[in-house]
């Protein structure tokens, strides 16, 4: 079945460091790809998305590019802030539906 593999955490960085969280997926059909974020004590919210090959999603300084040939959707940010501390989930849609398949999440801690 469809699945998502993302790098395991936790990840601890200093403020202004470069962030990469790797994500690869296995899917039948042509999924849409997402990154969702869960800040401490809050619900999940959409960070960015891409719906077709070579699309780049971006928001709040984060970026990810839909790479169909490598089935990847790596999340990057050039300079992280303490406020970026959260759990990040790589997510795909399953089989042309709106059902979401989640990676296990990567906890990011950014220290001042």
Is the CB of 43 or the CB of 112 nearer to other proteins? 43
Place of tokens 């709106």: 98
Residue 77 neighbours by CB under 8 Å, 6+ apart: 18, 19, 61, 62, 63, 84
Positions in the binding site for other proteins (CB under 8 A): 32, 36, 42-46, 49, 51, 89, 93, 98-105
Distance in Å from the first CA to the final CA of the chain: 41
* Strand partners for 5: 24
Closest approach of Cβ 110 to other proteins, in Å? 20
| Closest approach of other proteins to the CB of residue 48, in Å | 10
Q: Closest separation between CB of residue 13 and other proteins, Å?
A: 21
- In this complex, which beta carbon is closest to other proteins, that of residue 19 or of residue 103? 103
């Amino acid at each position: 079945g469809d699945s998502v593999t993302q790098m395991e955490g936790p990840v601890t960085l200093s403020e202004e460091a470069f962030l990469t969280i790797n994500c690869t997926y296995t899917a039948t059909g042509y999924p849409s790809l997402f990154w969702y974020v869960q800040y401490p004590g809050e619900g999940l919210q959409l960070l960015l998305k891409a719906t077709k090959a070579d699309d780049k999603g971006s928001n709040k300084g984060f970026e990810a590019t839909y790479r169909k040939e490598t089935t990847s959707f790596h999340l990057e940010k050039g300079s992280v802030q303490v406020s970026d501390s959260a759990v990040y989930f790589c997510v795909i849609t399953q089989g042309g539906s709106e059902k979401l398949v989640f990676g296990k999440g990567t906890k990011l801690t950014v220290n001042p």
